[in-house]
Structure 1
Amino acid sequence: MNNSPLTPETQDELLIQIRTAHRLLAAYYQRLLPSIEKIANQLGSDFYFWEPRKFARPASRNSNPFSKWAWDMLPAMSAIYVFKNINNESSITIDDFLISFYVDSDTGVDEEEMKRGEMDGLALSIPVTQAQSMVKIGIYTPFKNENLHWHSSIWCQGAFPDYQAFDAAHNSAKDINGQPIVSSGFEVSVSQLMTEDGIQQLTAKVEQCLARTILHAKSIATVDVTLRTHLS
C-alpha cells in the first residue's frame, strides 16, 4: 500500500487485504489469549483486569469515535493482562502475587514517535520487517502485610520490573517506586505462545521466577522482623 491514487482494481485489492488482516487478527487472538490464560491458571491465578498500554480504549457508546485516534480502535495491539492470587483486594499479604502479561504485538509502533501526534499507520519510521512482537511477563509479590489496595496502590503506583531476557539469570528486586513489593520479569517473542512446547517452557519459567521472587520477598520480611526485634 502506498499514497498513489487508487484505481478500481487497487481498491478491490486493498479491501481484500483488509478483510484478510481482520481474519488473521481474530485467529491470532484466538490463539494468544487462551495461551496466556492457560499459563496464569496453571500457576493458581485468575483474571484480574486488562488495559491498553500505548493507546486509549475505544470510545464508549456515547463518545464520538471520530474525534479519537484511529489507533484506539486497536486496543489489543499493545495491552497488558493481569492475573491475581490474593486473599483480599484491599490489602496485601505475604505470599500474594500478581502476574502480568504485557503483549506488544508491534514494537515498531513507538510511543515516543506518537508523542508528536497521531502517526499515519503507513508512515512509521520502523518498518514491520524490523519490528518485533514481544510479551513481557512480570511478577509482583509483597514483603509485608499492609492495608494497601492491589490496584490503586500497588499496581497504579508501583513500577514495572526490569524485564530480562528469557535465558538470563533470575533478577528480582524491591519496587523502585517504594511500594512494599518485590518484582521480577522477563521477555520473549510472542511466537513462544503459539506452540504447546513454547507454552510449557514459559509456564516452567514463570513458575520458577514466581517461586524465587516470593522467596526473595520472604527473606526481606524475615530481615525486617529481625531488625524490629533488635530495636525493641
Structure 2
Amino acid sequence: MPIPKETLADVRRAYRLIWGYQRRIMDILNLMADEFDSHEFYCWKTLDRDPPAKRGTNPLKKWAWDLLPLYQASFLYTSVGSDLGALKAGEWLLEFYVNSDSIDLKRYQPGEPDALKFGSAEKTNSTISLVAWKCTSDTKADWFRDVWSYSGWPTGSDVLQIEDYPVRAVKLEFPIEDLDDKPAIKAAVSDFRALLKAKLEIADPTIAQFDSPR
C-alpha cells in the first residue's frame, strides 16, 4: 500500500516536532542534573521496550518503539565516588523519569503495541518524575541490577520501602508543560529537595544551592 505524498509531508513535520521536543527534554534534564553537584550520571534505560539497537543488531527485526527512546525513559545518577556494588548507608540514587505519554504500553501487549489503538492523546499526560532511592544501611547490592530494575515506584507522596534491600524511595511528578522556563525547573527541584528532607532525611550540603523563585 503506497504512502500518500500528503502523509509523508505530515511525517516530515512530525519528525521535526519530535526533534524539538526531545531537544527541550534533554535541556530540562541537564538543568535539573546541574542542581545536584553530589551526583554524576550512571546509566539510562527505556521502559517496557528495548533501547535503540546496537550496530550489530538489525533494527528492522525490532519494534518501531525501540527507535523512540525518549517516549518513556529513566536517567539514573549516583553519588560521586560511590561503590556501585556495595551500597553505603546514606547514599542515594537520583532518577529522572520521562513519561511522554501516560499510556500503559503493557495494556497493549503481547506483541508490539499499536499506537492506533491508544485512543485520544488529549486524555493522557506528559510528565517528568524525580525519584530518590536512599540506602539506609550498608548492603551488597547493585543500584541498577538489584534495586532499580526490580522495584516499583512510590505512589503519591508515600515512601516506598524496598522489600529485599535496606532502601527507601520517594517520587515527585511534574507535568512537562509546567517546566516551561529555568525558574520553573529550579522551583520543581526545590520542591523535590523539600520532599527529600521531609521523607528521607536527605539534606546533602553538596547539592547546588539557589534561591527558590517561589
TM-score by length of 2: 0.83
Which position in structure 2 is the counterpart of 1:172? 159
Q: Are 1:161 and 2:153 matched, yes or no?
A: yes
Are 2:74 and 2:96, in contact at CA under 8 Å, matched by a contact in 1? Answer: yes
Aligned with 1:151 (options 144, 159, 172): 144
Aligned residues: 200
Q: 1:209 aligns with which of 192, 195, 200?
A: 195
> Structure 2 matches for 1:46-195, cutoff 5 A?
46-86=40-80, 87-108=82-103, 110-121=104-115, 123-157=116-150, 159-164=151-156, 170-175=157-162, 177-195=163-181
* Structure 1 counterpart SS, 2:112: coil
For 1:80-119, what per-residue CA distance to the aligned partner results, in whole angstroms no more than 9, with x for missing partners?
11112252212111221111111110123x3233313223
Greater fraction helix: 1
Report the residue type matching 2:98 in the other structure: V
Deviations 1:54-73 (A, max 9, x none): 22112222222222111211
Secondary structure of 1:54's aligned partner: coil
Which residue pairs with 1:39 in the alignment?
A: 32
Q: Separation in 2 of the partners of 1:57 and 1:33?
A: 17
1:207, distance to aligned residue in structure 2 (A): 1.2
What secondary structure sits across from 1:129 in the alignment?
helix
Q: CA 1:145 to 1:42, structure 2 compared with 1: closer, same or farther past 3 Å?
A: same
Larger Rg: 1
Shift in alpha-carbon separation, 1:63–1:184, aligned structure 2, 3 A? same
How far 1:41 moved relative to its partner?
2.6
Greater Cα offset, 139-148 or 191-200: 191-200
Contact 1:32 1:193 in 2 (8 A): no
Structure of greater relative contact order (alpha carbons < 8 Å, 6+ residues apart) = 2
The amino acid that maps onto 2:158 is N
Inter-partner Cα distance in structure 1 for 2:48 and 2:176: 17
Of the three residues 15, 18, 25, the one matched with 1:25 is 18
1:200 maps to a residue whose letter is K
Partner amino acid, structure 1, of 2:167: I
2:42 corresponds to which letter in structure 1? Y
Q: Cα offset for 1:143? A: 0.7
Could you tell me whether the CA contact under 8 Å between 1:97 and 1:140 is conserved in 2?
yes
Partner SS, residue 194 of structure 1: coil
Instruction: Please list the CA deviations of residues 141-174 of structure 1 after superposition, one character each: whole Å capped at 9, or x if unmatched.
Output: 11102232222222234x233232xxxxx43242
Gaps of 5+ in 1: 165-169, 217-232
Give the direction of change, closer, same or farther, for the CA distance of 1:92–1:119 in structure 2 (3 Å limit). Answer: closer
List, as ranges, runs of 4+ consecutive aligned residues in structure 1 with deviation greater than 4 Å. Answer: none
Kindly indicate whether the alpha-carbon contact (under 8 Å) linking 2:139 and 2:165 is maintained by their aligned counterparts in 1.
Answer: no
Identity of aligned residues (%): 22
Tell me, which stretches of 5 or more residues in structure 2 are unaligned? 203-214
Letter in 2 for 1:27: G
* Gap change, CA 1:16 and 1:88, over 3 Å in 2: same
Whether contact under 8 Å (2:63, 2:112) holds in the other structure is yes
Instruction: For 1:93 and 1:41, locate their aligned partners in 2 and report how far apart those are by CA, in whole Å.
Output: 24
TM-score normalised to the size of structure 1?
0.77
